[in-house]
Amino acid sequence: MSEILPRWAIAFLLVSATFNPTQVNYIRWALDRGWSGLSLTVLLGLVLFALWLIFLRATLRSIGPFGMALVAAIFAASVWVLRDLGILTLRNNAVTTWLGILGLSLVLGIGLGWSHVRRRLSGQADMDDVDED
């Protein structure tokens, strides 16, 4: 778990920095700026895009599309259970958006840390993890 938690936190920051229901996110900031300061908007957009590519590629290599779908399905089923138990209501759009952000960040965080967990559980390293000294 110590391998996944920091990676999930970083993934949560990436997803929520890109978009969230508050006023503080890249998409809203870029739309509000319009054409003023376009160079900074493009630069930050490219940095976010590069980070998304790194996170998605690492996640796909680690758990693959099936693993991503499985993590998302487990999260969705958990939300469903919490809703059925009356613990969670989905009437508020902001809550629903934050749940989507949480779910996506969990998929990315687990994908980023899964190779470390698998190595610890099985004692086997992935070929990508082996040093070529």
Binned at pLDDT 50, 70 and 90, residue 3 comes out as: confident
pLDDT surpasses 50 at 133: no
Residue 123: predicted pLDDT: 72
Percent of the chain with pLDDT over 70: 92
Name the residue type at position 119.
Answer: R
Binned at pLDDT 50, 70 and 90, residue 10 comes out as: very high
Let me know: does 26 contact 116? Beta carbons within 8 Å.
no
User: What is the secondary structure of 48-112 as a DSSP string?
Assistant: HHHHHHHHHHHHHHHTHHHHHHHHHHHHHHHHHHHHHTTS-----HHHHHHHHHHHHHHHHHHHH
User: What is the secondary structure of 10-25 as a DSSP string?
Assistant: HHHHHHHHH--SSS-S
pLDDT digits (tens, 9 = 90+) for 112-132: 988 777 777 777 665 555 554
Query: 34 or 42, which is more confident?
Result: 42
Q: What is the total count of domains within the chain?
A: 1
Query: 129 or 63, which is more confident?
Result: 63
Averaged pLDDT, 98-120? 89
Residue 114: which domain range? Answer: 4-129
Residue 126: predicted pLDDT: 58
